[in-house]
Amino acid sequence: MSSKARLLGRIFAAGSLLVAVAISRPAHAGGGYFILGYGPLAGQSAGTSAAIGFDGFAGASNPAKLTMTDDRLDLDVILFNPYRRISRSGSADPDYNFTTTSKNSLFVLPEVGYAHRINDRFSWGVSLYGNGGLNTEYHGDTGVAGSNRNPAVCGDRPGNFFGGCGKLGFDLSQIILAPTLAWKIADGYSVGISPLLAFQQFKAYGLQAFQGISASPDHVTNQGYERSFGGGVRVGLFGRVTPWLDVGAAYSSKVYFQDFDDYRGLIADEGSFDIPANFSVGFGIRPAHGVTIGGDIQRIFFNSIPALANGVSNSVSNPPNDPFGSRNGTGFHWNNVTTYRLALAWNSTERLTLRIGGAYGHHPTNGNDANSTSLNLFAPNATWQGTLGGSWALTKSSELHAAYGRYMVSDIDGDSATDALGIGGKESIDPHVNTFLLGYTRHIGR
């Protein structure tokens, strides 16, 4: 067997391991739908990657960048350490004035990227990466027997935070395989394309109180994991405009998934849960030797997905016409979001490159009213994120990477959507997330 064949075998073995690990330990994305950045370089740069960060993860950011990348294999592991505490006060039922903290506080997400230059014009590669963010597990309850809001199912068990019984939470994870082809259309200018082959799994539990206002009461909660497959495409452009200026742009279509039939009574539009379309534009400037400054603007079209865009109180306030699971049923009430990113890389020595990055994106909800608050306790969105890290060349053909990231989230505090369940009051969440990245790069042929 040739060395290249053995290498490809290792890549696919690593990919299989990624899928197995990510399925068993879904990643938390700091409350958002996408993680901050994909790969060891973007992970050090607050996700800035439209025109900088030439590694094997071009398929996850801008496929056209692949022509600027050497032959390489990138492996990394991201550790997510989230903290989420929710509380309620002023409830119509004093038993429901309590605080509970999510139990799952560490998630592991491996990633794999590979790049190979076919000739002077064409390059190909593959990226394997994940998304997540709706992963919470609240064990707190009222402590009062019979206080749940669905005694036909829950008996005399205490009510959890939303009036169901048992632990309360969502669990979503997604894996995306992005084979990539890029080609130079002129000196310094490239285009690229990445089919997006996707897998996702989801489960929800503790939402028995919503069964009575669902279009399909037996498909709301506690159905275990359901899995579905989907597909989309990402295209990109890259240009080296001058020796000191690069520009890049990429567009990702919606990733269309099979419906979650087992949760068609919970997720709006009969269990439809696609990844929204998005685009990015960015620049890379080299103002001095060994210094690169990069910036991105990304736009995500959350309002094209009913499960994300519909109002939180839709089903609670109008169950005859808009029950859970219907086209206009309850969602997260997210608007489209624009995120701004800025990063700096400095080759401080021949072997060490230091990076720092920051990102800002406004909260996607429409405010802190009853139509925006309750479900977002499961998925608080980061407003500011910051990262710092570095890459150390062990040899000419290998590098180590490390980074730390912090998701800084403004507290969510607003009216509850549970008045119709006899709960109501004010709800809030106090979240933050720390991330740690460890990575390794093998430069092939050096």
pLDDT tens string 233-282: 999 999 999 999 999 999 999 999 999 999 999 999 999 999 999 999 99
User: Encoding tokens for residue 171?
Assistant: 């669990």
pLDDT (0 to 100) of residue 31: 35
Other CB atoms within 10 Å distance of the CB of residue 408: 14
Measured torsion, CA atoms of residues 97, 332, 231, 130, in degrees rounded to the nearest 10: -40
More confidently predicted of 198 and 428: 198
CA 68 to chain centroid: 26
CA gap 199, 405 in Å, rounded: 26
Between 1-5, 111-115, 306-310, 438-442, the lowest mean confidence (pLDDT) is in 1-5
Residue ranges of domains in the chain, CATH in brackets: 3-443 (2.40.160.60)
Max avg pLDDT among 213-217, 329-333, 377-381, 416-420: 213-217
Residues 6 or more apart whose CB falls under 8 angstroms from that of 56 comprise 39, 69, 72, 73, 74, 112, 113, 114, 115, 125, 126, 127
Residue 347 predicted with pLDDT over 80 = yes
How many angstroms separate the CA atoms of 104 and 384, rounded? 22
What is the per-residue pLDDT for 219? 98
Vertex 251: Cα angle to 246 and 36 (nearest 5): 80
- The reported pLDDT for the residue numbered 27 is 33
Residues 340-368 have a mean pLDDT of 91
Residue 6's pLDDT is what?
53
The lowest-confidence range among 19-28, 35-44, 426-435 is: 19-28
CA angle 161, 163, 166 (to 5 degrees): 75
Q: Is 40 helix (H, G, I), strand (E, B) or coil?
A: coil
**What is the model's pLDDT at position 300?**
92
Q: Is residue 19 within 8 Å of 199, Cβ to Cβ?
A: yes
Mean pLDDT, all residues of the chain: 89
Give CA–CA dist 335/3, Å, rounded.
Answer: 49
Q: What pLDDT score does 368 carry? A: 73
Strand positions, DSSP E, 396-444? 398-408, 412-415, 426-443
Give the length of the chain.
Answer: 446
Residue of higher predicted confidence among 182 and 420: 182
For residues 368-381, average pLDDT: 75
Please give the pLDDT value at position 407.
84
Which amino acid belongs to residue 266?
L
Per-residue pLDDT of 39-83, as tens digits, reads: 999 999 999 999 999 999 999 999 999 999 999 999 999 988 888
Dist CA 169 CA 419 (whole Å): 20
The dihedral formed by the CA atoms of 305, 48, 179 and 197, expressed in degrees to the nearest 10: -20
Flag whether pLDDT at 190 surpasses 90. yes
3-state secondary structure 201-252: EEEEECCHHHHHHECCHHHCCCCCCEEEEEEEEEEEEEEEEECCEEEEEEEE
